[in-house]
Amino acid sequence: MGFRSKAATERPAGLGSGQLMDPRIARSHASVLQAATALLVEGGPDALTIDGVVARSGVAKSTVYRHWATRDDLVADVIRECAPRVEPLPGGLDFETALHALTRHLVAAMGDPQWRRMIPALLLLRLQHSDVAQIDEQLKTDQHDLFATVLRLGVQEGALDRTVLDDVDRAMALLVGPVLMAALVDSAPLDDEFADEVASQYLAASRQRV
């Protein structure tokens, strides 16, 4: 439920829906993705080259190109594979419980060292590659929709003023900001205790405005 720190893929990235992959091909596919991810995390976008992936993974260049037509396709799949997924929260939660659950999952996603180190690359690549920009936009949309659902609970219960729904992105920034700051500068442990503190402070500030 909520954010998940790793992508849960039903099929290997780069394959069409319903396609099955031979186990040997699947292993080479996974090796390439692992090598490409490591290069992107360690050296940024410029470090992720097909030659670099071949050298690191031991997979032949011809095999790499059978999976991905271009280097940009591989870059997009690396981002897609590592990006946190956003899932609906369970039904029946009250606002405070839902907010704490959402914040905990957000903190867990940002606590993934690999994803945290990939964020700068995402910010750069979304300006250069339309596929990465689409992944980033979808992630933002999913986060916005989930947070809006939690805010509506708060409005329904009278814990939040209904005007908070006029600018969901601003309300979300007030919650996400402390988490993102802690993740980028390593100023606090990204654990459930920190998540609960962030959620409690958000609740306290919100109630003062009701």
pLDDT digit string, tens, across residues 151-200: 999 999 999 999 999 999 999 999 999 998 998 888 899 999 999 999 99
Q: Which fold has domain 18-81?
A: Arc Repressor Mutant, subunit A (1.10.10)
CATH 1.10.357.10-classified regions of the chain: 85-208
Q: Give domain 85-208's CATH number out of 3.40.50.2000, 3.40.50.720, 1.10.357.10, 1.10.4160.10.
A: 1.10.357.10
From residue 48, give the alpha-carbon distance in Å to each of 12, 65, 76, 123: 19, 14, 11, 16
pTM over 0.85: no
Structural contact between residues 198 and 106, judged by C-beta atoms closer than 8 angstroms: no
- Give the burial class of 163: count Cβ atoms within 10 A of its Cβ; 0-12 exposed, 13-18 middle, 19 or more buried: exposed
Q: What is the pLDDT of residues 13-64, one digit of tens each?
A: 444 434 556 788 889 999 999 999 999 999 999 999 999 999 999 999 999 9
Structural contact between residues 78 and 48, judged by C-beta atoms closer than 8 angstroms: yes
Residue 107, token pair as written in the block: 């903190």
Structural contact between residues 107 and 7, judged by C-beta atoms closer than 8 angstroms: no
CATH 1.10.10.60-classified regions of the chain: 18-81
